[in-house]
Amino acid sequence: DEGQIYVKACHNATRKLLVCLLSRSNEKKLNLTTAGLDLSSGDSLDYGPRFVKPFSHDKIINELGSLYRNQSQWYLEGWTIAKDTSQPHINAFVSDSQPHRVGRLNSGEVSLAYGLIAKRRLQEGYNDHRYIPITMFSMSNFTVRILQIWHDKQNPKALQVRSSRIMDFKDGMQNNLDDWITILCWMTGEPVGDTKSGTQVVKVIEHEE
């Protein structure tokens, strides 16, 4: 259908980009809508659906005890799916040589999102879902941000993006333990939301030239 064709074509197009940082004009061509992501609640300023309920910050500290690994774990790459395979949610982990910039998306982040969404849309049993959400843990030079990227079947030629603030671990994980715990809460978060027949309408956010 139209959505399947769109995400597959955009994945192919973004893979061919010669730049690492996505330009405003390319964002507009791809019909990307971006909004902020509240790491405490999982809520967004775009008034759209909620897809993840982060694990309790206090509870995960109790679960961790005093066991912390070194920083090499930040270079994990891969993706996971929900335990309930009827849910289309995906967690993706990406390392990127392009430094993060506030208010700008890296082309690798967007290309990966299109690829995973296209994979879901083309898999049997998932294309009947209105929403396909990707929670992306994007890592670059000891900084991390969490992106929530989702495709709406009723707006098939667009992609919605929510971005957290950039979290800095250049001085080591122990010196920014609170952000590390927040990331763990999102990694272990519970997939939520009516992805099949949700009715939320996203607030349109105009791009600055």
Total-model pTM: 0.67
Checking if the pLDDT of 10 tops 60, the result is yes
Q: What's the token pair of residue 20? A: 């690492």
Identify the pLDDT of residue 166.
96
Greatest Cα-to-Cα distance within the chain, rounded to the nearest angstrom:
50
pLDDT, tens only, 25-37: 888 888 888 888 8
DSSP state of 31: T
DSSP state of 101: B
Q: What percent of the chain has pLDDT over 70?
A: 86
Residues 103-132 have a mean pLDDT of: 89
78-81 and 90-95 as β-strands: parallel, antiparallel, unpaired? antiparallel
Spatial neighbors of 51 by CB under 8 A, at least 6 apart, are: 42, 89, 131, 133, 135, 148, 150, 191, 192, 193, 195
Helix H segments across the chain?
A: 2-15, 24-29, 57-64, 107-122, 177-187
Measure Cα distances from 19 to 10, 16, 26, 97, 148 in Å: 15, 9, 11, 12, 22
d(CA 190, CA 107): 28
DSSP sequence for 38-74: -TTT--BTT-----EEPPPHHHHHHHHTT----GGGG
Per mean pLDDT, which of 16-30, 53-67, 145-159 is the most reliable?
145-159
Backbone torsions φ then ψ of 37, nearest 5 degrees? -125, 120
Q: Where are the domains of the chain?
A: 2-191
Spatial neighbors of 138 by CB under 8 A, at least 6 apart, are: 94, 96, 100, 106, 109, 144, 145, 146, 147
